[in-house]
Structure 1
Amino acid sequence: MRIGREHRRMVPGDAAYEPVSVKEVLAEMKDTAELLIDLSYSAVLSGSNEIAREVLALEDRVDLLQLQGRMSLLMAARSTEDAEQLAPVLGVMGAAEKISNAAGDIAKIVLDDIGTPDALRTAIPEAAEALVRATVAPDSEYVGRTLREINMETEAGARVIAIRRASATGKRRWVLSPGADDALQAGDSLLLRGPSGGIESVYPAATGGPYDPPVPVDPPIDDLGRAVDSIILMKDMSELAVDLAYGSVLFDSEGVAEEVRELEAEVDALKSRFEAWTLRAAGRVEDPVRLRGLVHLASATEVISDAALEISEGVLRGIDAHPVVAAAIEESDEVIVRLSVADGTALAGTTLGDEAVKTQTGMRVIAVRRGDAEWVVQPGSTTELRGGDIIIAKGTRAGAERLGELVGDEQRFEA
C-alpha cells in the first residue's frame, strides 16, 4: 500500500505474520516518516489538534509496517550471509520508525498543551521552507486541474504535501502525499510547503487572496529569536541528514554517509547549546513552564538526526545493503538522483540561483562534490556548478528528468 491516496486510519490491535512485499513496506515507511516531519511541524505552527491527531494515526501505521517488515525479514534469513545483508534493512526500518515516533512527540506538544511561546509560531516559518494552509476558492484557476497540470513545484518551487477534502458523506478526510494525477476541488484545504517566494505565488492562485505571512510577536525573552533559530537550524539539518542518508544507501557512497555523521554531530552540539540556553532563560521568564514545548521540539528534532545516522550505518561499516533498500528508495514518492554536470550544458559555469534550478525543475539540490573534494551539503543560490561536478538532488520524477537535461546527464524515470 502507498500513502498517495486516501489515508485509512489504522486501529491498533493484534498483528500476525502475513506475506508482505518488503520493498513496498520500506517505500511506504520512508514516505510516511518524511511526511510526518512536515505534518508535525505544521500542527505546531497552526496549533491544530486535527493535524496532530493525523500524525499519531500515521505513527501507528508506521509501527504496524515495521512489525510486518521485520517478520518478513526474519522469515527470509536462511544463512549468515542473508543475516549480514538483511541487517541494514532492519536498520532502515528502525530508523523510519524512530522518525515517526519523533514526529508523534512533536504532535503531542499540541495535543497535550505542553506549551510554546506564541513567538515560536511566527519565527519558525523563517526556516528554509515554510508550511502554509490554503483553501482553494471556487473561482481558483486550480479547480478541476491535476497537480501535474498545475505543475506548481516546477513553476514556483512549492508543493502540496496534503489535502483535506470533504467526502461524499460530508465528512472531511486527508489525502496525504497526493499524486500528480490528483485533481484539486473547490473547498480543498491544501498544506503547502516551499520557499516564501513560491508560497507568495501559489497562495493567491489557490485562494484568490494575498498571502499574509504571520505577524511577528514580541518574544517573552529578549533572545528567544536566537533559540528558535537554533531549532530551525536543527530541523533543516536533520531533514537534510535523512535525505543524504537515503542517498548514501542508494549510491553506496561512504563520502555522503560521512556527511550524515557530521550533520548528526552538529545537531547534537546545537541541542546541547539550546539546553544550556533554556536553563539560563528559565529564571528570566514569568512562566518558565511555557518553555517546555521548545525543549520537547528540540529533543524530538535531534532524534531525527540520530535516525538518519542509523540509515547510513551499514554504508559506514562497509556492509552492502540488500538491493531491496535501493529499490524501495527508487519506488518512493520523491526520487533521489545522482547526476554529473557535463561541460557546455545549461548549468555548467552558473550558480544554482542564476538558473533558478528549484523553480525550473522543482528539484532540491542537497549536495555537490567537485572532483575528489568532500561533499558540500546544503548548497545555496550562490553555489557555482562546473563541468565534472557531481550533484545529489531530490524531487519528482518529472523534475529529475528536467534537471538531467540541464546538466547533460539524462535519465529515465517511470511515472
Structure 2
Amino acid sequence: MEPEDVEYEPVSVKEVLAEMKDTAELLIDLAYSAVLHGSDEIAEEVLELEERMDVLQMQGRMSLLMAARTPDDAEALAPVLGVVAAAEKISNAAGDIAKIVLEDIGLPDALRAAMPEAAETLVRAGVARDSPYANRTLGDVNMETETGVRVIAIRRSGDWITNPDFETVLEPGDVVLLRGTDEGLSTVYESVTGAEYNTPVLAEPTIEDLERAVDAIVLMKNMSEVAVDLAYGAMLFDSEGVAEEVRELETEVDQLQSRFEAWTLQAASRVEDPVQLRGLVHLATATEVISDAALEISEGVLRGIDAHPVVAAAVEESDEIIVRISVGAGSDLDGATLADSEVRTGTGMRVIAVRRPDQPTGKSGEWVVSPGASTRFDAGDLVIAKGTRAAAEAMSELAGNPREYDDDN
C-alpha cells in the first residue's frame, strides 16, 4: 500500500483528535475479530484504517506545531502530542495483530473455539444494489432491534463512518461491518449482500492448556481497552487518580505478558509444530503495546501538567463519550449491583470504573476498575462510564443525578 502524500492544511485539532480516538477503538475491535475469525477481509480493513490514522497523526502534529509559539504553549501542547502519538501506537499495534492473519504468522486453529467471548461475531459485508436495506436509514430498517445485529462502521468510497446512527443511510456499494450472533448475522448478511452466510467452523483445541493461555490474552485485551478508556477519562476530568489507575493496569498487563511468554516457551516443547505459537506471541506483544499507549495518553496528568481543553472537547465530540456520574441517595442505582441495575442492557452504557467516596479519616476512596456483575453501587459513588449521549442521559436518570465533569479527584 503506497503511503498517501500529506501536506499542511489548516485542520481542527479537536476534530482530528476525536476521529483518532474513534478510529483507534474501531481498530482494536477489527484487529481482534480478524484474528478470532481468521478473516483476511477484516484484516485488510484494519490496514486501510491504519493508513487513515497515519494521515490523521501527521495532520494533528503539524497543526500542534503551528500552534506552539511560546514556552507556555509548548508545555500545554506537549501532552496533546502525546495523545496523538499514543493513538498512532494503538493503530500500529492493531496493524501488527491483523498481519498475524494476512502473513500467516502462525496461530492455533482452535483459538476461536477456546475464546470465551465467541458469542458475538464481526463480519464484513458489501451492500448490494438490490438489497432491501439499500438507500434506507438504519432507523428505518430497525436492524438491531429485529435481529440483534449492529452496524458498527461503514466504509464508503474510502471514507469511514464510525458508530453510525439511526439517520445513517445505507448506500449500494457501502462496506458495512456487522456485529452480532451467528444466527442474526446469517439473516442480515444475506439481506445485505444477496449471498449465503457461511458460519465459521470451530476446531477442537489440540494444545494442552490453550484455554488458559487464551484466557490470559483475553484478560490482557480487556485490561488494555479499559486502560485506554480510563486514560481518556483522566485527560477529560484532569484526574490524577484515574491516571494512577491507568498506570496500575499497564503494570498488570506487563506482568500478564511476562507469564504468557513463560507459558509459550513451556508449550513449545509439547507441540509438534511450535511455529503455530508465533501468532499468540505477536498477539500478546501487540496487546501490551496498547496498554503502553494508554499510559502515554495519561502521562501529562501524571506529571502535573494541566490537561489541555482541546483533548476534553475531542473526547466529548467523539462517537462514544466518557462521562462521570454521581450516584444519588435513593436513586435506582443506590444499593443495586451492576447486574440488578441492568445498566448495560437498559441504557447501553458500559461502566469502566467506580470510585468509592473518600473516608472520614481522610483516606482517598477506593477505585473499582472493570466492575463485575456483583459490583454494588452506593450513594456517593462516582461512576465512570462510556456510551452514546442518549445512553448517558438514561444512566443519569438511573443515578438520580446530572452528569458531572468538574471533579478532579
TM-score for both structures, normalised by structure 1 = 0.85
Of 85, 90, 106, the match for 1:94: 85
| CA deviation vs aligned residue, 1:325-377 (integer Å, no higher than 9, x gap) | 10011110101000001111111111111121101111101101110222101
Cα distance, 1:14–1:390 mapped onto 2, change above 3 Å = same
**RMSD of the TM alignment (CA)?**
3.3
| CA deviation vs aligned residue, 1:260-301 (integer Å, no higher than 9, x gap) | 111100100011011111111111111111111111111001
Secondary structure of the structure 2 residue equivalent to 1:367:
strand
Provide the C-alpha distance between the structure 2 equivalents of 1:14 and 1:186, rounded to a whole number of angstroms: 29
Once the two structures are overlaid, the 10-residue window that deviates more, 372-381 or 95-104, is 372-381
In the alignment, does 2:372 pair up with 1:388? no
- What letter is aligned with 1:339? I
Secondary structure of the structure 2 residue equivalent to 1:392:
strand
Cα distance, 1:151–1:299 mapped onto 2, change above 3 Å = same
Once the two structures are overlaid, the 10-residue window that deviates more, 311-320 or 402-411, is 402-411
- Which residue of the partner structure matches residue 177 of structure 1? 163
Provide the C-alpha distance between the structure 2 equivalents of 1:201 and 1:360, rounded to a whole number of angstroms: 23
- Which residue of the partner structure matches residue 69 of structure 2? 78
Cα distance, 1:119–1:201 mapped onto 2, change above 3 Å = closer
- Which residue of the partner structure matches residue 34 of structure 1? 25
In the alignment, does 2:36 pair up with 1:51? no
Provide the C-alpha distance between the structure 2 equivalents of 1:392 and 1:147, rounded to a whole number of angstroms: 28
Provide the aligned length of Structure 1 versus Structure 2. Answer: 392
Percent of aligned pairs sharing the same letter = 67
- Which residue of the partner structure matches residue 410 of structure 1? 402
In the alignment, does 2:214 pair up with 1:228? yes
- Which residue of the partner structure matches residue 133 of structure 1? 123
Provide the C-alpha distance between the structure 2 equivalents of 1:109 and 1:179, rounded to a whole number of angstroms: 32
Provide the C-alpha distance between the structure 2 equivalents of 1:122 and 1:173, rounded to a whole number of angstroms: 34
Alignment of 1:301-316 (within 5 A): 301-316=287-302
- Which residue of the partner structure matches residue 312 of structure 2? 326
Q: Is the 8 A contact 2:76 2:306 kept in 1?
A: yes
Provide the C-alpha distance between the structure 1 equivalents of 2:198 and 2:227, rounded to a whole number of angstroms: 31
Q: Is the 8 A contact 1:350 1:384 kept in 2?
A: yes
- What letter is aligned with 2:299? E
Provide the C-alpha distance between the structure 2 equivalents of 1:110 and 1:61, rounded to a whole number of angstroms: 20
Cα distance, 1:362–1:184 mapped onto 2, change above 3 Å = farther
Quote how far apart the aligned CAs of 1:192 are: 4.3
In the alignment, does 2:109 pair up with 1:123? no
Secondary structure of the structure 2 residue equivalent to 1:284:
coil
Q: Is the 8 A contact 1:152 1:202 kept in 2?
A: no
Secondary structure of the structure 1 residue equivalent to 2:291:
helix
- What letter is aligned with 1:296? H
Quote how far apart the aligned CAs of 1:131 are: 3.5
- Which residue of the partner structure matches residue 262 of structure 2? 276
| CA deviation vs aligned residue, 1:10-62 (integer Å, no higher than 9, x gap) | 96243222111111111111111111001111111222222212211211111
Alignment of 1:116-265 (within 5 A): 116-124=107-115, 126-127=116-117, 130-133=120-123, 144-147=136-139, 150=142, 152=144, 159-163=150-154, 176-183=162-169, 191-193=177-179, 199=181, 203=185, 206=188, 217-265=203-251
Of 16, 19, 39, the match for 2:7: 16
Cα distance, 1:70–1:208 mapped onto 2, change above 3 Å = closer
- Which residue of the partner structure matches residue 377 of structure 1? 369
Q: Gaps (5+ residues) in structure 2?
A: 192-196, 359-364
Provide the C-alpha distance between the structure 2 equivalents of 1:334 and 1:383, rounded to a whole number of angstroms: 23
- What letter is aligned with 1:161? I
Secondary structure of the structure 2 residue equivalent to 1:387:
coil
In the alignment, does 2:278 pair up with 1:292? yes
Quote how far apart the aligned CAs of 1:139 are: 10
Of 346, 357, 361, the match for 2:347: 361
Q: Gaps (5+ residues) in structure 1?
A: 1-9
Q: Is the 8 A contact 1:106 1:297 kept in 2?
A: yes
Provide the C-alpha distance between the structure 2 equivalents of 1:339 and 1:151, rounded to a whole number of angstroms: 30
Cα distance, 1:86–1:331 mapped onto 2, change above 3 Å = same
Q: Is the 8 A contact 1:164 1:189 kept in 2?
A: yes
- Which residue of the partner structure matches residue 397 of structure 1? 389
Secondary structure of the structure 2 residue equivalent to 1:354:
helix
Secondary structure of the structure 2 residue equivalent to 1:12:
coil
- Which residue of the partner structure matches residue 194 of structure 2? none
Q: Is the 8 A contact 1:255 1:374 kept in 2?
A: no
Provide the C-alpha distance between the structure 2 equivalents of 1:201 and 1:358, rounded to a whole number of angstroms: 22
Quote how far apart the aligned CAs of 1:200 are: 7.6
Provide the C-alpha distance between the structure 2 equivalents of 1:201 and 1:363, rounded to a whole number of angstroms: 25
- What letter is aligned with 1:237? M
TM-score for both structures, normalised by structure 2 = 0.86
Secondary structure of the structure 1 residue equivalent to 2:110:
helix
